[in-house]
Amino acid sequence: MTATTATFPAEAIAAFSAAYPDRHQRLTHRLTGHPLLTREAIAALAERHPQERMEFNLGTLPLGIRPEDTPANGLSVAETIRTIDDNKSWIVIKNVERDPAYAALLDELLGELEPIVKGRTGPMEHREAFIFFTSPGSVTPFHMDPEHNILMQIEGEKIMTVFPAADAALVPPEQSEAFHAGAHRNLQWEEDFLAKGDAVHLTPGDAILVPVKAPHFVQNGDAVSISLSITWRSERSVAEGELHSFNRLLRARGLPLVSIGAKPEAQKIARIGYRVMRKLS
């Protein structure tokens, strides 16, 4: 795309470059009103999308909730979408890149960022996109995600409160280790955590870069919200996961743990050690 038609304006690319991969950062975009991101287009996508790739439940939740305690809304996906203004629900359509039109959109967006990403953390891998469709007042509980993520606000508004990654007071090492072994993304919430968070207000045309495993929660505004999340993995994110998984194996055997540095992809000996121990386990 040319500079005049790019989704991310030049100032957003500069801000992304200054922050990636370690800091969260507010960005801007030009996707508002895109024909694939209207309510009608999203409803049509949900009708043809695999049911197992959609998650929906009541959106009026506390910040800290166990996955097994998350209440269903009693509706089908189609009913949830049709009545989203009033049903107090939260929907995510996962892996929308499985649809060719949305795959092309994802490639277009990531292509604008790829030169910066490749130079910092290696090739973009495991590219995915998610659409969030939420009722007024919905809450996404305190959690973390394993990918580099840019959330793009399309309709409505929300506040995402983002916390520092790799803060052991927020996410103890044992919890990171369990997360990489398949534990749920939701985290335990304590009120005194709030002082460490940065509340970022997002309206249509705003976006936010969220680093790998930076804890966050989201509070929706007074209208229906539509957001698009574009994500990718990198050698750094994969390496960080390997080292936490290595520590889980070491901890179980009472062996000394590996210190995980700012550039885990460079810790090649420890990563080889993990792969050897995993094969022997």
34 in a structural domain:
yes
Of 238, 246, 16, 268, whose CA–CA distance to 121 is shortest?
A: 238
Asked whether the beta carbons of 204 and 271 are under 8 A apart, the reply is no
Asked whether the beta carbons of 108 and 120 are under 8 A apart, the reply is no
Instruction: Give the rounded distance of the alpha carbon of 175 from its chain centre.
Output: 18
Residues 207 and 243 in one domain: no
Residues 57 and 184 in one domain: yes
Residues constituting the chain: 281
Record the pTM.
0.89
Q: From edge to edge, which strands make up the β-sheet containing 216-220?
A: 139-143, 216-220, 158-162, 198-202
Q: What is the pLDDT of residues 54-100, one digit of tens each?
A: 877 655 544 554 555 444 555 666 677 777 777 677 788 999 999 99
102-141 burial: b if 16+ Cβ within 10 Å, else e: beebbeebbebbeebbeeebbebeebbbbbbbbbbebbbb
Asked whether the beta carbons of 217 and 63 are under 8 A apart, the reply is yes
pLDDT of residue 11 exceeding 80, the answer is yes
pLDDT of residue 281 exceeding 90, the answer is no
pLDDT at residue 66 in the model: 55
Residues 253 and 179 in one domain: no
Q: Give the C-alpha separation, 147 to 125, whole Å.
A: 10
103 in a structural domain:
yes
Residues 25 and 55 in one domain: yes
For helices 10-19 and 100-121, angle between their N-to-C axes, nearest 10 degrees? 50
Residues 70 and 187 in one domain: yes
Residues 222 and 251 in one domain: no
> In terms of residue numbers, what domain contains 33?
10-233
pLDDT at residue 9 in the model: 97
Residues 135 and 207 in one domain: yes
Q: What is the domain count for the chain?
A: 2
Q: Give the C-alpha separation, 176 to 172, whole Å.
A: 7
Q: What is the CATH number of the domain that holds 129?
A: 2.60.120.650
Residues 150 and 274 in one domain: no
Of 241, 236, 231, whose CA–CA distance to 178 is shortest?
A: 241
What residue has token string 């994110």?
237
186 in a structural domain:
yes
